[in-house]
Amino acid sequence: MPRTKTNEAGPNPVDTYIGSKVKSRRLILGLSQEELAKAIGLTFQQVQKYERGTNRISVSRLVDICKVLKVQVDYFFDGSFALAGKPPGMRNAAAKGFADTKQEALEPDPMMKRDVLELVRAYSKISSPQLKKQLLEMAKAMSNTAADDK
């Protein structure tokens, strides 16, 4: 199947989505772009291009990245964007090349924010299941209180 041609410049939404997954996993593990690049034999600039979706990640390179990030290849694929034409994690996004009218800009997934990633990283370092459960219950209680205040 041929690639969809677009009149708009910029990276393909799928490349952007895969790059954002690389970035979020790298941040969760606390790796810098330079550390990831060194582990896979590239420059940090190339990792930047991958994360932005500017350059495509080949399958063999993706396998190398998976080893460093300690995930399976399917971590990067949801399957739903293959048929729907829109990557998961992107809200209100029309698939490029499938509309006759101007498309909305891609809106990043709130789960990709730095503070959320830092929270996930800190949570994953807690070894006690009991402490993890207590923290989760506290966060739920705090979010309910914040919702009641509105």
Q: What percent of the chain has pLDDT over 90?
A: 37
- Per residue in 128-145, pLDDT (tens digit) is 999 999 998 998 898 887
Burial category of 24 from C-beta neighbours within 10 Å (exposed 0-12, middle 13-18, buried 19 and up): buried
Q: What is the mean pLDDT of residues 12-29?
A: 88
Distance CA 26, CA 66 (A): 10
**Confidence label for 37 from pLDDT (cuts 50, 70 and 90):** very high
Q: Decide if 44 contacts 136 (C-beta within 8 A).
A: no
Per-domain residue ranges of the chain:
1-109, 113-150
Using alpha carbons only, give the angle 127, 112, 15 rounded to the nearest 5 degrees.
Answer: 120
Find the Cα–Cα–Cα–Cα dihedral 73, 75, 80, 86, rounded to 10°: -100
- Domain 1-109, CATH class in plain words: mainly alpha
- Per residue in 82-127, pLDDT (tens digit) is 544 554 454 444 444 444 445 444 555 666 677 887 888 888 889 9
Residues 6+ apart with CB under 8 A from 8: 96, 103
At 6 the three-state DSSP class reads coil
Amino acid at 9: A
